[in-house]
Amino acid sequence: MNFQQAVKRYDSDPTGKNLENISRILCAELTTGEKLRLLSGRQFFLRNGVDLITKKQKYNCRPCLAGGIDRLGIPPVAFSDGPRGVVMGNSTCFPVSMSRAATFDDELEYRAGVAMAKEVIAQGGNYFAGICINLLRNPRWGRAQECYGEDQYLTGRMGAALTRAVQDNGVIACPKHFAVNSIENIRFSVNVQADEITMHEVYLPHFRKCVEAGAMSIMGAYNLFRGDHCCESKYLLTDVLRGQWGFEGFVISDFLMGLRSAPKALKAGLDIEMPQKALYAALPVCLRTGQVSMKDVDTAARRVLAGLIKVASKIKPQKKEVVCCKEHTDLARKISQEGTVLLKNDSLLPLGNIKKIGIAGRYADIINVGDHGSSSVFSPYVVTPYEGLCNRYGRENVVLCEGTDVSAKIGELRQCDAVIICVGSDYRQEGENLANFSKSDKMQENGSGGDRYSLRILPEEAELIHTLCKECENTVVNIIGGSAYVIEEWKDEPKAILESFYSGMEGGNALADILSGDVNPSGHLPFTMAADENDYPPFLFPGDKTRTIDYGYYHGYALLDRENKKAAYPFGYGLSYTTFEYEITKTENEGCVAVTLEVKNTGGRDGKTVIQVYAGADDGDHPVKQLKAFKKIFVKAGGTEIVRIELDPEDLKFYNPDTKEWYLEKYYNLFIGQNAEDAMNLKRKIKIV
């Protein structure tokens, strides 16, 4: 049997049992050397290719290959990174995952996944590792921008949508980094501890949703969990992933330094070492000395084959022209519009057709679409905030003041109808900690990303806000960055505040769409913006004496509920240019758990609202509430929509570590609202039949 024959046999009976059987038969056709070849990457990833625009060496410029057996037509795993788009070539740069999470729209995320899959295939790939579903436990985490926020349910919904989209289009989907990965600067050495309830109810559910959505690969994490590196954790890779969830696919290591022992990793359930053969080069010797068995090798090889077989027939050839095509760039703009969060508006926005507009700040007219590490996408162009305003209002009507020194143009800015102040972060303040791979003083000086030591914007940016808000009547602060900031020192000064995140290649146009009122904002925060840095859980930095941290059950809005604290801006918060009112008309608890609402648009503009349904149980030691359903709907000005939202009983269950089973409490409180705090005002108690 060759690979194509195996694919045809699977397609005739696409069941898990048949997939396992066919993979076993095909594996038997391989020599020992060929089986071992399947288990390693084939190239040094830092010398992967040359970018067509910059003409410089670039990570993942073309697919990173692993395995592949020409004799039987078995294709290699052809890896592309993400998650804000396809890292290969010059692809569409979408808004970062955090921005997409702010849309609270998993159908829109599915559309993004379809576009990404097409761009992977068009550039020779069959594998997408752009589904980053680690939880934002503390916004100091440098790679927060790559994830979907602090809530496991929202993360699971968005990650599952991206997983389905990618695999429906013939590309192997890879959620990452498994698991409890949310500290960057000491990512290779931090040892995370967490009890069983915390793991199963907080840090694992979103991975499980992606597995249930069909993911055929998983990437292990760099960090340690309970003393074992995650890529060598039998508990994670075998006991949970395969034993409890029935995962059918294969596990790859994170790139370089993901494992320390080849025998331990293979036996734990790590199938492919990426991006090249390093520790797995010792596997032939390990076989001869009995440190691993042929059964261990066969098991890993069969899993790789299963992943390739399952998606092969879904691949539809794509022309190169699909990469960064207009359909995809329009989608990037749409996502940025839907994900922009309006935090404050003192009757200033929308601006409409004003005569003169100013824009100032470090990020007013530079390319700033996110981290420069493994998630970096090199799109052919990027629309900056300044260019977006020029496209909307005309270049002659836009006053640009780059940087934080506005003294030379303060007179012009005073004459503007409104001034936009762009503040936040870039790759130098947050991102992948590239200093892990370089100790050079130059890299440290220029900024190497990593975790954020401060959750506040830079002092010179705060001073810029103070100055312009004093000198100019109508000011809008536009926050550009990966996650939450503490903004208490200046939030009362501007008339409006937006959080636009790293908004992708069309972000400047999307910003102008929102400011002008061409688009009504509908983004909602996928994290809690706290009033104080200490309202977030503890974090570790390289200077700390310990490398062990306990990931307790509570963080984000669940922690604030438990400690009876208020957020500056709660999870799920987002304003609109109109207003909405909710009224519960019906709850159901027989056969399913559901709530029916009457949603009224009480303002003068058409708009969208995100209905958020939280649930909690009084019995037992549980959180006050957790997000269990959401739905984004459009309501015309003055109109009313009747909306029924059904909750999955599986999402309401709690974990019993003694029996290792899930259970339902007898009674639940449902909280419905437009954010985590607002939901406390609309409550219903139901009995689970």
Could you confirm whether 254 is annotated as catalytic? yes
- Preceding omega of 179 cis (within 30 degrees of 0): yes
Give the model's pLDDT for residue 441: 34
Give the model's pLDDT for residue 442: 39
Contacts of residue 329, Cβ cutoff 8 Å, sequence gap at least 6: 92, 505, 506
Q: How far apart are CA 490 and CA 559, in angstroms?
A: 25
- Preceding omega of 649 cis (within 30 degrees of 0): no
Annotated catalytic residue within 254, 365, 417, 561: 254
Give the model's pLDDT for residue 54: 64
| Bridge partners, 84 (sequence order) | none
Q: How far apart are CA 365 and CA 360, in angstroms?
A: 9
Tell me which CATH code domain 578-687 carries.
Answer: 2.60.40.10
Q: Indicate where the chain has its CATH 3.20.20.300 domain(s).
A: 3-320
Structure tokens at 321: 């022209």
In the three-class reduction of DSSP (H, G, I as helix; E, B as strand; rest coil), residue 221 is classed as coil
Give the model's pLDDT for residue 549: 98
Give the model's pLDDT for residue 57: 73
- pTM across the whole model: 0.96
CA atoms within 13 A on the CB side of 215: 34
Residues of the chain with pLDDT under 50: 438-446
Give the model's pLDDT for residue 128: 98
In the three-class reduction of DSSP (H, G, I as helix; E, B as strand; rest coil), residue 204 is classed as coil
638 conformational bin, left if phi > 0, alpha if psi -120 to 50, beta if neither: left
Q: Indicate where the chain has its CATH 3.40.50.1700 domain(s).
A: 326-550
Give the model's pLDDT for residue 445: 38
Q: How far apart are CA 139 and CA 529, in angstroms?
A: 9
Confirm if 156 and 113 have CB atoms less than 8 A apart: no
Q: Indicate where the chain has its CATH 2.60.40.10 domain(s).
A: 578-687
Q: Which CATH homologous superfamily contains domain 326-550?
A: Glycoside hydrolase family 3 C-terminal domain (3.40.50.1700)
Tell me which CATH code domain 3-320 carries.
Answer: 3.20.20.300
Give the model's pLDDT for residue 620: 85
